[in-house]
Every structure is written in C-alpha cells, then in structure tokens.
Amino acid sequence: MSFVTVHEVGPRDGLQNEPGVISVSQKIAFIDALRDAGLKRIEIGSFVSPKWVPQMADTDAVMAGLKQMSGVQYDVLVPNKKGWDSFDAARGQGNYGIAVFIAASEGFSRANLNCTIAESVTRLAPVVAAAEAAGVPVRGYVSCVTDCPFVGEIAPAQVAQAVALLRNLAPMPVSLGDTIGKGTPERVAAMLDAVLDIMPASDLAGHFHDTSGRALDNVRASLAKGLRAFDSAAGGLGGCPYAPGAPGNLATEALVAMLHADGFDTGIDAEKLVAAAKMAKGMRNGADQN
C-alpha cells in the first residue's frame, strides 16, 4: 500500500483570514486534535507583519504552548529575515521547520509581496541560509501554479522557472499551490510535466483550493504523476488574503477519505480527523460571533 503524506495547513492557512479573535488556547487545542488524529506535519502559524495578518500575531505564544511529540514536525511560514529572527527566538528545542514562498506570477508577487519574483527570491536567500546553518528543515511554496487572480492563466514553464529559483537556494521540497482553485486535471498534469523535468515527484506536494470543486480531481491527476504529498486544511478553511476569489482549501477530511478509498495509507485516524474538523468550524463560527 502506497503512503501519502498529508501536510495540515489549517492552523495557519486555514485561520489566517478569520476576522474574529481566536485565542492561543483554542489554536493549541486545534493543533493537539490534529496531532492526535495522526497528522505528523502541521503548519501552525507564521511570522508575518501583524498589521497585515493580525490572526497570526500570537504564533510565538502558540509555539510556546505546543506539546512536542516524536515524529511530529510543526512548520511556520517565514517570509523574510525579520520573520526568521522572530521564529529563531521562539523555537527553543522544538521540532520545527519553516516554509518560504514565492509566486509563479509577477502580478501576484507584486500584489502579495510588493516585489518581483526575482526580488522575492533574493529576500529569502538569508532566511534559507540561516535555516540550513541552524539545521531547520525548509519547505518551499510556489503560488499561482495554474492561474493568477491578476493576470489569468500561468504557463507551465513559468512554474518550472519559479521552482528552479527556489531549488537554487537549497534542495528543498516544494509545494505547488493552485491559489484560486481554477486548475483542472489536464492543466495540473501539464504543469507537473514541466516541473518534473527539473525535480523529482518525491520532493513535490500539491496544494489545491476547492473553489471550483476540482481539488480532489487535481489530487488524482497529481497522484498519477507520482506525487505522494498534499496540503489541506481541516474543515476546508482558509484562503489567501491577497488572492481575490480564493476561499476554501481542500478539506483534510475529504482528502483523507478519498485517499483511503483509493487504497492509499496516510496514518491518519479518519474519525478523529472529522472531530478536529468540527472543532475548526466551531472555532471559526465562535470567532465570527465575537
């Protein structure tokens, strides 16, 4: 039975847009529930400007309250050297990794990061160097791998070029994000063909939003290309705050149900996962009422 790694992004990508206050204790309880369901890779927050993403302002406090468990890695999004310094001060002896991100679209890069793609890579170079020196695992994200909300369809060659820029910094695994959920299996397959020319499927993950209801179809197209890692958010929460029309990550419980039905192993307890997803939805609804 083939194993598929599920990278849970709900505590970060799922909650970052929520307008109401979600307490540190609620976030930790959510992460605990995900870990107890068997998830081994959980993205728990980010060190970005609280002015732009206030929901993530307490990531250091979340890190301080997490239980460290053998085999479980908590990941944190780090966009620049200032973010690295904050992360480094908070990580202690915990089992943490970082995620760094760029876009395959110049329009998205300018809207989201206020710089060109090349400039964003230059900005990340000291972050990746510091992480490697500290022995902290690094994972890359490339956004807008099929479509951009500002410039439309993205050519597969553009995605491959963006991936190459990240891999030139370090031989990191890369997650490919269909940021606004407009990808189709045919276009995802074409994009993956271009990327697979420069890196192996074993180092790639798919990150599909379900805006158009095609996320699971795109997962199957990726599985056919050899990918065995996918990002998802319990309860289907989240979306990018700088990508109009991009609500809703692929729900982890839907992803796991499909994988199990198709004969893949994930190491995840489906019933406990559903309970964690209900917690996420309840937490969101509670925040909306504040």
- Active site (catalytic) residues: 240
Residue 231: burial class (beta carbons within 10 Å; 0-12, 13-18, 19+): buried
Q: How far is CA 69 from CA 38, 72, 227, 233, 269, in A?
A: 11, 6, 27, 21, 17
SS3 37: coil
Please count the other Cβ atoms lying within 10 Å of the Cβ belonging to residue 4. Answer: 22
- As a whole number of angstroms, the distance between CA 58 and CA 42 comes to 17
Strand partners, 231: 7, 207
Give which of 62, 104, 99 is closest to 231, Cα–Cα.
Answer: 99
Token reading at 87: 């992360």
